[in-house]
């Protein structure tokens, strides 16, 4: 592993667990008694989704969607890949990803999924960065960051690596 890429730890695995629990609490309150379709944005959202759904107390089904993103790209125009394993028509849908940076990926996904007529659409992420666009739907998150710095770990890649780190760290300046 090229450990020299990895800078200071911003969120330890304990802080991540606390953040997951915080988002789960908000969702358990909001969706109590409902049957929800949770759509994970893969691959980045896999880790957060896995941790989050195990703390959700309402009935849920799971699906996935992808919209490959290059870190630092503030206008993600890549094709959306969605197999629609489950119908979401007339059902509450929760889209789960690790982070919003520009917000452009999630903004496109929300617009796209709304065409399938869900009864409601909301998003859940662990992190949000400050320069994200406004997405007009309910948003659940644990941590609002102070800047847009590139991060790595817990789903976030550096050159497609390090998604599996159990903590979230900065990327050293020369490597961004």
Total residues contacting ligand PRP by CB under 6 A comes to: 23
CA dihedral 78, 65, 36, 121 (to 10 degrees): 0
- Identify which of residues 33 and 146 has a Cβ nearer to ligand PRP in the complex: 146
Determine whether 81 is exposed, middle or buried from the number of CB atoms within 10 Å of its CB (0-12, 13-18, 19+): exposed
For residues 4 to 33, the per-residue mask of contacts with ligand PRP, x marking binding by CB under 6 A and - elsewhere, is ------------------------------
- Residue 156 is a binding residue for ligand PRP (CB under 6 A): yes
> At closest approach, how far in Å is the CB of 1 from ligand HPA?
16
> At closest approach, how far in Å is the CB of 84 from ligand PRP?
18
- Residue 148 is a binding residue for ligand PRP (CB under 6 A): no
- Identify which of residues 30 and 69 has a Cβ nearer to ligand HPA in the complex: 69
- Residue 46 is a binding residue for ligand HPA (CB under 6 A): no
Q: Which one, of 83, 21, 76, lies nearest residue 53 by Cα?
A: 21
Q: How far is CA 87 from CA 28, 97, 149, in A?
A: 22, 20, 37
Task: Tell me which residues in 58-87 interact with ligand PRP (CB under 6 A).
Answer: 67-69, 71, 74, 76
**Tokens read off for 65:** 């969607």
Give the separation between CA 93 and CA 143, rounded to whole angstroms: 22
């Amino acid at each position: 592993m090229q450990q020299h890429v990895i800078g200071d730890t911003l969120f330890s695995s304990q802080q991540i667990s606390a953040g997951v629990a915080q988002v789960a609490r908000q969702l358990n309150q909001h969706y109590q008694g409902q049957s929800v379709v949770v759509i994970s944005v893969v691959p980045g959202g896999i880790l957060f989704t896995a941790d989050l759904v195990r703390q959700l107390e309402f009935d849920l089904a799971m699906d996935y969607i992808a919209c490959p993103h290059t870190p630092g790209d503030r206008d993600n125009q890549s094709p959306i890949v969605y197999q629609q394993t489950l119908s979401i028509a007339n059902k509450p849908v929760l889209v789960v990803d690790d982070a919003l940076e520009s917000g452009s990926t999630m903004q496109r996904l929300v617009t796209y999924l709304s065409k399938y007529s869900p009864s409601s659409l909301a998003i859940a992420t662990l992190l949000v960065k400050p320069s994200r666009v406004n997405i007009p739907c309910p948003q659940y998150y644990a941590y609002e960051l102070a800047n847009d710095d590139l991060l790595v770990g817990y789903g976030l890649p550096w050159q497609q690596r390090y998604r599996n780190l159990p903590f979230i760290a900065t990327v050293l300046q020369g490597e961004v």
